[in-house]
Structure 1
C-alpha cells in the first residue's frame, strides 16, 4: 500500500500544473493543423473519388454492352437461316459453316445450338483447348464438335451422336450416345424464348463442360425452334482488373442472388467442392462482406480494420434482373495526397512543439514519473500480476488518488480472481455449494452463512447449505425451513430481499423465526444479516445467500457492512450463481440424455420383435 502522506507535502490538482503550459500550445497547434488538413483533405476527397468512380462505372457499362450486343445481332442473323428449320441432321449440317465462322469470330462464345419443339437438338461447340478434347473424347485434330439429338415422330426413340470436324470442316470421327437423356424443352432458355418474341438472357451460371462463368442468350427461330448461344464472361474479370486503381481495391460484378460474376482474380469465382458453384460476392473479402451485408447510407465504410470509399451501381445487362457493380477503395491508398498533407501538418506541429520543449520538459519531468509508475502497475494488473510493487505517492492530488484507488483495486481483483478460479475448478455440486459458503463467509467476515436454492420453476427457496464458525452443519439439526420468495407470511428480511438485489438489516432472536437455533449456536442474541439474491446469466433468481455477522455494537461492524464490501460480495455471488446454475443445468442435461436414450431403446425394442429387449438392457 502507498506510504502515509507526510504533513510537509502539498498536493495540488493536476490541471493546475498542465493547463497554463498546454493551453496556448494546443490552441496554436489545433488551429493551424485543423485548418490546413480540413481544407486540403476535403478538396481532394470531393474532387477525386466521385469522378474516378463515375469513370469506372461507365467503362464497365460499355464493356458489358460490347460483350452482349454483338451476340444478340449474331443470333438475329443466324435465326433466319433456312437450315435452322431443317428436319434432320443431314440438312442441319448446312449450319456448320456459319456457326463455325461465328464461333471463330467471337472467342467469348462457348457454343451455338438449336432446340426444337419435338425434342431435337443441334449444337456446334469449338474445341479450343486440349482439356475440352479430352472431356469429349475428341481426336487431336478435331476443331469442332457437332452434337445432334433426333427423335422419331412419337418421341419414343432418340438418336444422340457427336460428329467431330477439323479446321476445314471435314468429318474425322463419330460417337454414339445411347444413354443420352438431354431434352432441350426442359431447359429455362428454351421455355423462356418460346414464350417471348424478343431475345432472352439467363442469369449467369457455370458451364458444365468448360467450368467457365457464362450466360445463355436465346431467341425463337421460326415456329418450332429456339436458337441459343453460350457466352462466357471471363473477359469481364479482365476488364475489372484494369480498374484496380490501388493495390487494395476491391471491385466485383454480381447478380441479384449475390453470386460473383466477375472479379479481378477470376480463379476465386468458382468453388469446387462437391459440385462447382459460384462464390458469393460477400465471401470474396471482409470488406465486400461488410458492404453487401450492411450497406452504408453514404459512400464511406469501415471494415476489415480500414476506412473505405465505396460505390454501388446497377447494370441493366446480365440477365432478367441485371447485374450490380460494387467498388471499394481504401481511403489511405486513394488519398495519398491527403496523407502527405497530414505529414506536413505533423511537421508544423513538431516545429511548434520544439519551440515549447524546454518549458514542457521541465514541467513534465516532475509530473510524468509517478504516471509512468502507474502505467507499469496497470500493465502488471492487465497481465494478472498482482505482486507488482505499488507505486509511490505523488505530489499531484488526482494522481495520488488514482494510485491509492489502483492499489485497492489490485487487492480486490486478486481476491476475486482467486475465488472465481476455485469455484470454476469445482465440478461436483455439493462441494461447490460448500465452497461458495466458505468463500463468501470469509470475505464478509461473517460467523455464519446459509444458501437457499430455487426449486424447479417456482418461487420456493429451499435451504441447501449451512456454515457456522467455519464448519458445515447439517440442516435438519437447526430446523431451517424453506420459504416462498413473494409470500407475505415469510420473514421480514426475506420480504425485503424479494424486492431488492441485496438487503442489510439487523436481526434479533425474537424475530429470527427458523434461524433462532443458528443464533443460539452463535451465542449471539443479535446479528447483522446480509442477504444477496443469486442471479443466473438470464438475470433470473436461482437462490439466496444469507450471511450472519455478530452485532458487537462497535465501529468495526460498520466497516464490514460498507457499500464496497457489499458490492464485492455481490460480484462474488454473481460468479458463484453462474457456477451453480451451470452445474444444475449440466445435471439436467445428463438426465435428459439418459431419458432420451432409454426412450430410443424402448422404441426400438417395441418396434422389432427380434431384439428381445437387448437395446433396453444396453
Structure 2
C-alpha cells in the first residue's frame, strides 16, 4: 500500500516553503538590486575616470599644442642662421616654462637644419647630456650648409656656459628623415601627434607634437612627457585591488596606477614600453585582441572568470583630437566591487532562517486545524492539479461547505477537461477550413444539441461556413447567407447584446436562415444564439445551436465561455491566414519587381517555383529508389514555395547597367562613342596637318596621300576597336597587343577635364595631378580615376562568418578602357562578373536576416544553393551534394531548366526540350547537378509537364531520355 501522509503536513510544508520562497526572493531581489546599483556605480566611475583621463591628456597636450602653434607661426620658421634663430630663445624658454610636461621645443627645416631647446630639469637630464651642473637648458643646432652641429649649454637666463662642436650630430641626424617631420609636411592639416613612446634620452614615456609652418619650409615640434598620468590614474582607483592603466591599441602601457615608469628592459639591455602581458595581471594579460578590435567611441565592458576570481574589465576609448587613439583599461575584482551585495545576501539568508524557525510551530498548528475536513478531497484535488480528469470528484462530509466544494470541483473537472480537449484539438489543427467544422462539432457536443450552424461575419452580414447534425451529417446545402437586418429576432438580439440568447425558434428565424427542411425532420425547436466576439469585443461570427429541450443555465454558461475560446481561435487563425496571404503577396511583389527590373530575367522568379514544386511532387510520389523516403508535409511545401519565390531576391541589389551590359565599354552609356570622337579628332588633326603642309609649300598630292593613309589607318583601328567592344568572339593575345598599340596613339585635349563632374568623380580625378590644357592624352587608357574602390559595405563576400568561397576582386568596378576592351570572352570584366554573381550572396544575407519561423528556417539554405554544384565547384559557398538539402538541389535544377527554355529573354531564344535536356545531361555528367534528381526529372516526365504549361509549341520536340538515364555516374543518396 502506498505510504500516505496527512494533509496538514502538506499545508504546513507549503506554508514553510512559501515563507522560505518569500525570504529567498526578498534576498535575491535585494542582492540583485544591490549588485545592479554597485555595477551601475562602477560604470559611472569608469566613465568619470575616462573623462578625467581625457581631461588630463588635454591638460598636458594643450599647452604643448599652443606652444607648437605659436612656434610654427613665429619668425623662427623663416630664420636661416643660428644667430637669427637664437633671437627667439627667450620666447622658447617662456613656452617651456608654461608646461612641466613639455621637455623640448624644436624646429626642423626643409634644408636639413635643426634648432632645438631642451630643458635640463634635473641632474639625470644633465648627466645624460654631459651638461654642466648649473646648466638649465641645452640648445642643439645643425646648420646643414656648413655641415656643423653644436651643443650650447645655457644657464637659467640663457647665458652660454659651454659651446661644443658636434660634427657627428650633424652627420647622424637629419630632421627630414624623421617621421614627425615627414608626417607634418604631408598632413592636410599640417599638424600631427605621434603615438606615445619611450624617449631615448630620459627613458620616460611621452609623445611628439609637430606642426608645419605656414611657409611650408619648416616644422615646429615639441616633446611631451606623460609621467603625470600615473599619479592621476592612481587617484582614480575604484577599489584597493582594482587596476587602472592607459594603453595603446597594441597593448603597450602608457601609464599605470601602480608603476611610476612602465618600462621593461630586454636581455640586451635595451628599454621598451611594457606590454600588458608584462604586468603579471591575468585580468588584463589577454585583452590585446579586444583592444585592437575596438572602434568608435563607445566603451566596452567584459566579465572575466579567472582562477583568482571574477573581474569586471572596462575598455574606454580615449580620443584626443589629432592624436592616435588610446584605451583606458579599468579592471575591478568582483569580490571587492560586490562585497556589500555579498554581505547583504548573507544577512538576508540569516534573517530568513530565523523567520523559518519561528514559523514552523505556527504553520504546523494551523495546518492541522484546516486540513481535517479537507482530507477527503485532497486526493481528488491532487488529481485535478495533475490534469487527471479520469475520476469523478466525490465528497462525503457533514460539512456543507466541503460537500459544495466537492460538487464544484467535479463540475470544474468536467469543464476544464472539455476546454483542454477543445484547445488541444484547435492547437493541433492548422488548416483554417478544417478548423471551422471542428469548433462546431465540439460546441455541439458540449451543449448536447441536435444540430448547429456556424456563421462568420463579413462586410455584408453573416456567411454560413459549417453546419451539421449531432450524427455528423452536413446541413450546408440548405443554408443561406444572412444580412444583419434579416437574421431573425433571436440572432439579431444576440448580435446587438453581445451575449448568448435563448428562445424558441420563430417563423422569421426559421425562414431567414433556411432551416425549413431541417426542422421538418427533427423536433429541435429550442435554440441558443451565441455571438462570437474577439478580444476587442467585435463580432467575429454567430453560432446557432438547436435543441429539443431548453438549455440549462450551467450548460449555457459553459457554451458562452466556450464561444469566447472559439472566437479567439477563429480570430487567431484568421490573422495567421491573413498574414500568410500578405507574406505571399509581398514575396510575389518582390519577385515580380525583380523580373520587371530587367528584360534579362523575364518571368523567371514566377516560373521557377512551379517547376521546383513539380519536381518535389515527383520525388514525394516515389516508392522506391533514392527518393523512396522523401516526403514533404505542409510546412515543407511552404518552405520550398517561399525559397523558390525568393531564390533571386538578391538581384534587387544588382545595378541594371551591369546586368544589361551589352558591350565592353558600356556603363550607363556606351563609351565607344567617346573613343569614336577621339578618332574623329585625330582624323581632323591629320587633315589640318595636310592643309598646313600644302599652305606652307609642300607637295599637295604627297600630303593628301599621307592624310589618306593616316585616315585609313585610323578607320581600320577604330573598326577593330568596335569589333572588340562587341565581345562576340574570344580575344586572342595578338588582339590584346594591337589594343595596346592603338592605345599608345595620342590626341590633344584643349579643355579642362575636371569641371562639370560629380563630387565622386572629382575625388577620383584628384588621385593624379592635373594636366593643364592643351594636354597630350593617350587614345585609350586605364586611368586611376577609372578604378572605383570597394568600400567596407561592399565586402560582404569577404566576411568569414558567411562561409562564402568566392574570389572577391580588389576593386568594386574597374572602368579602364583597355581593361574592359581586353576582356577575353563576353562583355563583363572580372569586377562586373562578380557583381552579377554576388546576387546569390545578397540573397543569402537578406534571407538570413529575416526572422523566419522555425519551419521556414531552411529557406536561406534552399534559396541560396541554386548556383552550387554537386562536386563543390559552385558558388557562393562551394558546397558539395552531401552538404545540400534535397530541396536546394531541386531548386538548382529548376533554375537551370527554366533559364535554358525561357522565351522572354531579349538576348537569346529559348532552347527546345531536346537542346535543354542535352545540356543538362552534360552538367549531370560533370557532377554540376544532382544525377538522381535529374533522372527523376526525366523519368517522371516533369520536363514535359512544365513544357506543356509554359513553353511554345515549337520548343516542345521529341526527346529520347533513355541515353541520359544513369549515364554511368555513381548514384548518390539524397
Partner of 2:175 in structure 1? 184
Higher relative contact order (CA 8 A, sep 6+): 1
Q: Which has the larger radius of gyration?
A: 2
Partner of 1:588 in structure 2? none
Partners of 1:253 and 1:298 in 2: CA distance: 16
TM-score normalised by the chain length of structure 2: 0.33
1:92 to 85, 92, 95: 85
Partners of 2:264 and 2:283 in 1: CA distance: 20
Deviations 1:495-553 (Å, cap 9, x if unpaired)? xxxxxxxxxxxxxxxxxxxxxxxxxxxxxxxxxxxxxxxxxxxxxxxxxxxxxxxxxxx
Partner of 1:128 in structure 2? 121
- The offset of 1:218, in angstroms, is 0.2
Does the CA-based 8 Å contact 1:72-1:199 persist in structure 2? Answer: no
Does the CA-based 8 Å contact 1:248-1:330 persist in structure 2? Answer: yes
Partners of 1:22 and 1:49 in 2: CA distance: 42
Deviations 1:445-504 (Å, cap 9, x if unpaired)? xxxxxxxxxxxxxxxxxxxxxxxxxxxxxxxxxxxxxxxxxxxxxxxxxxxxxxxxxxxx
Can you give the 5+ residue segments of structure 2 that lack an aligned partner in the other structure? Answer: 4-9, 292-298, 362-974
2:157 to 165, 168, 172: 168
Residue 267 of structure 1 aligns to a residue whose secondary structure is coil
- The offset of 1:351, in angstroms, is 2.8
Partners of 1:297 and 1:201 in 2: CA distance: 26
Residue 340 of structure 2 aligns to a residue whose secondary structure is helix
Partner of 1:81 in structure 2? 74
Does the CA-based 8 Å contact 1:290-1:303 persist in structure 2? Answer: no
**Which runs of structure 2 are paired with 1:138-537 in the superposition (5 Å)?**
138-152=131-145, 158-180=147-169, 181-196=172-187, 197-221=189-213, 222-267=215-260, 269-273=262-266, 274-284=269-279, 285-293=281-289, 299-317=302-320, 320-351=323-354
Residue 124 of structure 1 aligns to a residue whose secondary structure is strand
Residue 302 of structure 1 aligns to a residue whose secondary structure is strand
Deviations 1:401-430 (Å, cap 9, x if unpaired)? xxxxxxxxxxxxxxxxxxxxxxxxxxxxxx
Deviations 1:64-97 (Å, cap 9, x if unpaired)? 2222222212211121221332111111111211
The alpha-carbon distance between structure 1 residues 286 and 93, as it changes in their structure 2 partners (threshold 3 A), is same
Partners of 1:297 and 1:145 in 2: CA distance: 45
- The offset of 1:123, in angstroms, is 0.6
Partners of 2:53 and 2:85 in 1: CA distance: 38
Partners of 1:158 and 1:194 in 2: CA distance: 23
Residue 83 of structure 1 aligns to a residue whose secondary structure is helix
| Structure (1 or 2) with the greater strand fraction | 1
**Which runs of structure 2 are paired with 1:579-594 in the superposition (5 Å)?**
none
Does the CA-based 8 Å contact 2:114-2:143 persist in structure 1? Answer: yes
Give RMSD over aligned pairs: 2.9
Partner of 1:38 in structure 2? 29
- The offset of 1:105, in angstroms, is 1.5
Partners of 1:133 and 1:22 in 2: CA distance: 83
Deviations 1:253-292 (Å, cap 9, x if unpaired)? 1112221111112335110222111111243221012444
Residue 79 of structure 1 aligns to a residue whose secondary structure is helix
- The offset of 1:329, in angstroms, is 1.5
Can you give the 5+ residue segments of structure 1 that lack an aligned partner in the other structure? Answer: 1-11, 13-18, 359-618
Partners of 2:225 and 2:335 in 1: CA distance: 35
Does the CA-based 8 Å contact 1:33-1:349 persist in structure 2? Answer: yes
Residue 337 of structure 1 aligns to a residue whose secondary structure is helix
- The offset of 1:131, in angstroms, is 0.8
Partners of 1:237 and 1:106 in 2: CA distance: 17
Deviations 1:368-411 (Å, cap 9, x if unpaired)? xxxxxxxxxxxxxxxxxxxxxxxxxxxxxxxxxxxxxxxxxxxx
Residue 145 of structure 1 aligns to a residue whose secondary structure is strand
TM-score normalised by the chain length of structure 1: 0.51
Count of equivalent residues: 337
The alpha-carbon distance between structure 1 residues 29 and 135, as it changes in their structure 2 partners (threshold 3 A), is same
